[in-house]
Amino acid sequence: MTSLQVRTEPAQADAGADLLLDWFGRTDASTVRYEPGFLTGLAPTAVSRDLLRLGASVYCTDKLVSRNTTADLWTRQLSLQVPVSNPALWDAAKPELVAALSFLSGDRWELDFVADTNEPPEADALGADCGVSLFSGGLDSLAGAIDQLEAGRELVLVGHHDSGLTDKQQKLLGAALKDRYGSERVELRRLYLRPGGQRKGPARPLPASVENTTRSRSFLFFAAGVAVADALGDTVPLMVPENGFIGINVPLTAARAGSLCTRTTHPLFMHRVSNVLAQVGLRHTIENPYRLMTKGEELDESANQSFLLKLAPQTISCSHPEAPRWAKRAQGNCGYCYPCLIRRASLHHVGADQDAYAWDALHESELLAPSSARGRSLRALTASLAREERVEDVLVNGRIPNGETTKFFDVYRRGRTELREWLRGAGPELRRRLVN
């Protein structure tokens, strides 16, 4: 295991730490790169600010420690000290919080909460009757925004980005929504945050190697959304649009069990985060309107399907959208990762599979070659679809809380049907692998 001692604190303080995050103050000495304007004009409570600082610290810590240095090439021992407004309050929530983070990233987290001596900046609460929805630039988050805007709500979209392509797509989609529904009804707040890298000026040097799995990003995303919701009112819900099929994310192979398979919106993770919010006195619910839908069903039931499908080619649903440029192909949805395969099946479900992908999984025989790293997900998917679904499958990536195992099994079964229907349009070599 790898152990990293991390303390987030004001950057001008003198302390032996590897990561200094001056989240609400100066940025010149911080080892984290961020744009401080995310909360401009907002007045979230001290506790929701604590949560945002914690989410930022967890995310940057996750990215700074390579899993390749651990004995099992995955599990790390991560120790994090965070200043908060009320350490006793956060200590009471620590067991559930550690359980949520460990489930999400697959690491062993140790959290130490200390008193924050800084006064939060003053701002006037917006007081607007707005909804808050996470906005990644993906197809699900776009569908969620459109459905809520079609219902007549004013909406604050909350995004996070740490790379140029995600930044670009969020801006394009946000502008399109403003043009359609009016700038007075749509506000896009985007958090840019990442480790600072090897640059001149930070108070502490950063590790030369970084980690690219970023399992903890959804915790930062949730924390950012809660901070914005908290500035609007103490019971404003946070909407997290994500289809239930990818939410439970049943591993395609036994080798991908546990946190090797992402748990971004897994029902158990969302349940535990909701418990943490309640334990620290935050009354915001976290709601996923598509939790019991497949991605195809989500598109099929859109309140404005024609507009959604018009914007769909601008969305990014890919695990590694910048990878195609190394093969001298267009950046965007790669076409061969598991989220891309699900995306294509969902668009096929509504008769709109005309997206451009760097690789065509239906017809490129390269992806079926055993030596092809790019074809791993496609080969695993075809092998998985040849097996009959079992209720036990939906428990492999984590238990389902609140007695909803059967409901999520139905989502799982319907999602696999969508994938089979799409793959039947493949070339003969791939079609021979499928069960008709």
> Which domains, and CATH codes, for the chain?
3-115 (no CATH), 130-197+213-287 (3.40.50.620), 296-431 (no CATH)
Better-scored residue on pLDDT, 192 or 95:
95
Residue pair 165/316 in contact by the 8 Å Cβ criterion: yes
Residue 150: per-residue pLDDT: 97
Q: Residue 176 has what pLDDT?
A: 98
Stronger pLDDT, 260 or 243, i.e. the higher one? 243
Task: Please return the burial class of 358, using the count of CB atoms within 10 Å of its CB with bins 0-12, 13-18 and 19+.
Answer: buried
3-state secondary structure of 232: helix
Q: What is the pLDDT of residue 205?
A: 60
Q: What is the pLDDT of residue 126?
A: 53
The predicted structure's pLDDT at residue 43: 87
By the 10 Å C-beta count (0-12 exposed, 13-18 middle, 19+ buried), 370 is classed as: exposed
Supply the pLDDT for residue 290.
Answer: 98
Burial of 62 (0-12, 13-18, 19+ CB in 10 A): buried
pLDDT tens-digit series, residues 312-321: 999 999 988 8
Contact (Cβ atoms closer than 8 angstroms) between residue 49 and residue 227? yes
pLDDT tens digits, residue range 153-181? 999 999 998 876 788 899 999 999 999 99
259 or 354, higher pLDDT: 354
Instruction: Report yes or no: 268 and 163 within 8 Å, Cβ to Cβ.
Output: no
Tell me the pLDDT band of 34, cut-offs 50, 70 and 90: confident
Query: Residue 121 — pLDDT band, cuts 50, 70, 90?
Result: low
Q: What is the pLDDT of residue 5?
A: 42
pLDDT of residue 74: 86
| pLDDT (mean) for 399-408 | 97
> Does residue 353 or residue 188 have the better pLDDT?
188
Check if the beta carbon of residue 355 is closer than 8 Å to that of residue 313.
yes
In order of 16, 69, 387, the CA distances from 64 in angstroms are 17, 12, 39
Structure confidence at residue 353 as a pLDDT band (50, 70, 90): confident
For position 49, what pLDDT does the model report? 92
Tell me what pLDDT residue 120 has: 65
Given a cut of 50, is residue 297 above it in pLDDT?
yes
Q: Count the neighbouring beta carbons within 10 Å of the beta carbon of residue 357.
A: 22
Which percentage of the chain shows pLDDT scores above 70?
84
Q: What per-residue confidence (pLDDT) applies to 436? A: 43
Lowest-confidence pick of 129-133, 248-252, 322-326, 400-404: 322-326
Most confident of 67-76, 197-206, 213-222: 213-222
Per residue in 383-395, pLDDT (tens digit) is 999 999 999 999 9
Please check the confidence at residue 396 and state whether its pLDDT lies above 90: yes
pLDDT, position 152: 94
| Strand-strand pairing, 108-115 and 154-161 | unpaired
3-state secondary structure of 319: coil
Give me the pLDDT at residue 16, please. 26
Is the pLDDT score of 12 beyond 90?
A: no
CA 432/CA 436 separation, integer angstroms: 9
User: Is the pLDDT confidence value at 1 over 80?
Assistant: no
Mean pLDDT for all residues in the chain: 86
Question: What percent of the chain has a predicted confidence (pLDDT) above 90?
Answer: 61
The pLDDT confidence band at residue 428, using thresholds 50, 70 and 90, is confident
Residue 149 has a pLDDT of: 97
The residue with greater pLDDT, 128 or 405, is 405
Between CA 113 and CA 105 the distance in angstroms is: 20
Residue 432 clears pLDDT 60, i.e. is over it: yes
Q: Give the integer Cα–Cα distance in Å for 333 and 294.
A: 19
Given pLDDT bands bounded at 50, 70 and 90, which one contains residue 123?
low
Please state at what angle helix 267-279 crosses helix 87-105, rounded to 10 degrees: 170
